[in-house]
Structure 1
Amino acid sequence: MKKSFGISIVALAVVGGVIWVYGPEIREKVTPSASGTTATAPRQGSAQAPIPVDIRQVGTGAVRQQIEAIGSLRSDESVVVRPEIAGRVSEILFEEGQPVKRGAPLLRLDAAIARAQVNQARASITLSRANFSRAKELADRGAGTQRTLDEAQAKMSTDEAALALAQATLDKSTLSAPFDGILGLRQVSVGDYVNPGQTIANIESVEQLKVDFRIPEIYAQVIASGQAIRVRLDGFPGATFDGRVYAIDPAIDPNGRAVILRARLPNADKKLRPGMFARVTLIVEERPNAVLIPETALMPMGRDVFAFRVIDGKAVQTRLRTGLRRGGEVEVLEGLQAGDTIVSEGAQKLRDGQFVRASKLAGS
């Protein structure tokens, strides 16, 4: 009797252990249905519900690589009018701040002495030419010497040079505009005695302006003549002015380790002025139809960058090669095309091949 009781206890223990170990599996396989019958339950993980994510189509847009710099506006042409000879100002022929045409007389110096020197030189040249003519005639007839002819010719050449010098001095007593422009403020008055090199007034050509600006030498490989610029000026808030680079200094400035560029800026209405402080944006490269996706769609993994394309309801992990960035979007150079459908948000919770569904439309 005691022996049977011991065997029964051992049997119960074995059955209990089996139920403890395999109970969850048994309960999973045999589950009462709503009708009271038993049905086989699906194994956990065998049916995968689509994961809600934000989905959008890949679009296109313009992107540009640009460099910010500061610079200054300069006149297209600029000169300070200065006399080459000394003299007293006898007449001022221009109005300050007014337009002037090339060749227009601006100022005259007292030319009485220069005019007298011209008359004297003309009288001398008349005599020397007559002497040379007689000496040549005698030499041709054999009645004169070659020395006399040579001396007469030398005297005539000297007098011709003296006349040219006197005429040049007389011409320089009148100062003229070297190009079309606008006159600045004059620095002399009638009756002033001026010396060579003394400032009379400045002339600025402002139909178009130059913009000088500096770019760090690290960008020396990407700058080129012909690139576009956009200029913002403190004097014109909110306005931008377009220009184009036409010259690059071949030498790097050793003081700032920068490349100096010069661009032209149209100024037909003449509202821009030389000397203005300019904020310059140099447009290195611009692509109007770049493939763009939101930055939130990117998944960096080591040195690679991925995004999930949505194909037949599945998220397919795709390696990308990216380019420029603009305002929360990134350019895709390889891996995607315009019109592809991607996961724009929620990619961090996905694995390759998982089913997804749209939680909301892009832009809603």
Structure 2
Amino acid sequence: MRYKHFFSALSLCLLLTAAGCKDSGHKGASQPLPVAQVRVFTVAGQTPQRQSEVAGAVESLQRATISAKISGPIEEMPVELGSAVQKGALLARISAGEIAARLSQAETQFGQAQRNFDREKRLLAQDASTRETVKSLEDAYRMAEAGLREARALRDYTLITAPFAGIISQKMANAGDLATPGMPLLVLENTEHLQVVAAAPEGAALKIKKGDTLAVTVPAAEFSQTGTVTEIGPSTDTASRTALVKISVHGGNSLRPGQYARVTLPGEGDAKTLLVPETALFRFGQMERVFVLHNNTAQLRLVRSGEHREGQVEILTGLNGGEQVVIQGGERLIDGQPVAIVP
């Protein structure tokens, strides 16, 4: 009898609880969803600026390897590594005694030929000589003059001067070393005018024209500016499939020849893609979703994203061009909820 009363009371409680839940659900279903204030973005196909970086190096526009033209010991080299020199400054003096002796001989021969020629011209004016004799002495004078110019040119080879103003970036010889024709002694670079040289892939090189601007970064110098393309290699290297690109840069007081540089090249892809602001995309576990506006209501749409760049995300599937997606106010939206667009 005691158990019977207990089960009767329990059944009554369950019935009352079920009735209360049913009433509560009925009341919630009868309340309409509030209108949400949102901002929207119209999806449109865009051409993404796909870019790539290649390594390069800072180089001088003017760079000369100073070599010897004659043989002889280096008598003097008044410059050091890093020395700043002006155009025409003495870089090295080579001792060459035989050239000095040859110059002295040429000067003597020239003086003698000139005196003979002048004397014979005076005699011809007095009818004391013939035109043939004067012509022969004139030829000897011209030959002596040419020999003197040659000897002076050889003498000038002993004095090596700077062809332009710049800085000694390499020094391969010192005073006392023996110089030979073609032997590199110094490297002179003009650091006032610099360029960045990079090897661009053949696909990107085809899209670069002389006069284009490319972004250049030199991390060691904390340099990041745009430069102007001055030269493009006309052929592609068969091994690396790259073409040389030279970019003129300005305003970098800390730039030095040989520094590592990065050059940003235009991408090869021109296909249009759908880009939306990153605030339009919501993640729920492994799912990616956005809210699309349709008849003033928010519709939940599952999408698949691609690249993220500069605050935008590429939508690969799930959206069409011309649709409006919610980019602000969508955090608490419910599928089918009415919305009002905020300008």
TM-score band (shorter)? 0.5 to 0.7
Amino acid of the structure 2 residue aligned with 1:247:
E
TM-score (normalizing by structure 2): 0.65
Q: How does 1:85-124 map to 2 (within 5 A)?
A: 85-124=70-109
1:329 and 2:309 matched: no
Residue 56 of structure 1: how far off its partner (Å): 2.7
State the secondary structure of the residue aligned to 1:93: coil
Deviations 1:43-91 (A, max 9, x none): xxxxx989979533569xxx85533222222222222221111122222
Find the aligned partners of 2:81 and 2:206 in 1 and give their Cα distance. Answer: 46
**1:169 alignment counterpart:** 154
Alignment size in residue pairs: 279
State the secondary structure of the residue aligned to 2:203: helix
State the secondary structure of the residue aligned to 2:187: strand
Residue 170 of structure 1: how far off its partner (Å): 1.1
Find the aligned partners of 2:184 and 2:129 in 1 and give their Cα distance. Answer: 56
**2:237 alignment counterpart:** 253
Identity of aligned residues (%): 30
Range with greater deviation from structure 2 (180-189 or 164-173):
180-189
Find the aligned partners of 2:172 and 2:245 in 1 and give their Cα distance. Answer: 33
Range with greater deviation from structure 2 (138-147 or 195-204):
138-147
Find the aligned partners of 1:223 and 1:99 in 2 and give their Cα distance. Answer: 36
Alpha-carbon contact 1:208-1:267 (below 8 Å) kept: no
Find the aligned partners of 1:53 and 1:259 in 2 and give their Cα distance. Answer: 54
Residue 145 of structure 1: how far off its partner (Å): 3.5
Q: Kindly tell me: are residues 86 and 147 of structure 1, through their superposed partners in 2, closer, same or farther at Cα, counting changes over 3 Å? A: same
Q: How does 1:128-143 map to 2 (within 5 A)?
A: 128-139=113-124, 143=128
Amino acid of the structure 2 residue aligned with 1:264:
S
**1:277 alignment counterpart:** 260
State the secondary structure of the residue aligned to 2:193: strand
The one of 207, 229, 250 equivalent to 1:222 is 207
TM-score (normalizing by structure 1): 0.62
Find the aligned partners of 1:160 and 1:183 in 2 and give their Cα distance. Answer: 37
Q: Kindly tell me: are residues 246 and 330 of structure 1, through their superposed partners in 2, closer, same or farther at Cα, counting changes over 3 Å? A: farther
Find the aligned partners of 2:200 and 2:170 in 1 and give their Cα distance. Answer: 34
**1:41 alignment counterpart:** none
Deviations 1:313-339 (A, max 9, x none): 478xxxxxxxx98435279xxx87xxx
Aligned CA RMSD, in angstroms, stands at 4.3
State the secondary structure of the residue aligned to 1:200: strand
Find the aligned partners of 1:115 and 1:84 in 2 and give their Cα distance. Answer: 15
Alpha-carbon contact 2:207-2:266 (below 8 Å) kept: no
Q: Kindly tell me: are residues 314 and 116 of structure 1, through their superposed partners in 2, closer, same or farther at Cα, counting changes over 3 Å? A: same
**1:31 alignment counterpart:** none
State the secondary structure of the residue aligned to 1:73: strand
Find the aligned partners of 1:88 and 1:77 in 2 and give their Cα distance. Answer: 28
Alpha-carbon contact 1:210-1:263 (below 8 Å) kept: yes
Residue 239 of structure 1: how far off its partner (Å): 5.3
Find the aligned partners of 1:248 and 1:170 in 2 and give their Cα distance. Answer: 41
Alpha-carbon contact 1:97-1:182 (below 8 Å) kept: yes
Alpha-carbon contact 1:53-1:343 (below 8 Å) kept: no
Find the aligned partners of 1:70 and 1:313 in 2 and give their Cα distance. Answer: 51
Alpha-carbon contact 1:69-1:282 (below 8 Å) kept: yes
Amino acid of the structure 2 residue aligned with 1:55:
R
Q: Kindly tell me: are residues 103 and 223 of structure 1, through their superposed partners in 2, closer, same or farther at Cα, counting changes over 3 Å? A: same
Amino acid of the structure 2 residue aligned with 1:244:
T
Residue 250 of structure 1: how far off its partner (Å): 1.6
Find the aligned partners of 1:244 and 1:357 in 2 and give their Cα distance. Answer: 50
Alpha-carbon contact 2:71-2:96 (below 8 Å) kept: no
**2:250 alignment counterpart:** 266
Residue 184 of structure 1: how far off its partner (Å): 3.3
State the secondary structure of the residue aligned to 1:182: strand
The one of 200, 205, 208 equivalent to 2:193 is 208
Find the aligned partners of 2:327 and 2:252 in 1 and give their Cα distance. Answer: 47
Q: Kindly tell me: are residues 49 and 214 of structure 1, through their superposed partners in 2, closer, same or farther at Cα, counting changes over 3 Å? A: same
Alpha-carbon contact 1:223-1:284 (below 8 Å) kept: no
State the secondary structure of the residue aligned to 2:261: strand
Q: Kindly tell me: are residues 296 and 191 of structure 1, through their superposed partners in 2, closer, same or farther at Cα, counting changes over 3 Å? A: closer
Amino acid of the structure 2 residue aligned with 1:106:
L
1:71 and 2:84 matched: no
**1:56 alignment counterpart:** 40
Q: Which stretches in structure 2 are left out of the alignment for 5+ residues?
A: 1-31, 269-274, 282-289, 299-306, 315-320
Residue 275 of structure 1: how far off its partner (Å): 2.4
Find the aligned partners of 2:209 and 2:239 in 1 and give their Cα distance. Answer: 22
Find the aligned partners of 2:243 and 2:93 in 1 and give their Cα distance. Answer: 44
Q: Kindly tell me: are residues 65 and 142 of structure 1, through their superposed partners in 2, closer, same or farther at Cα, counting changes over 3 Å? A: farther
Residue 197 of structure 1: how far off its partner (Å): 1.7
State the secondary structure of the residue aligned to 2:191: strand
Residue 358 of structure 1: how far off its partner (Å): 5.3
Alpha-carbon contact 2:58-2:258 (below 8 Å) kept: yes
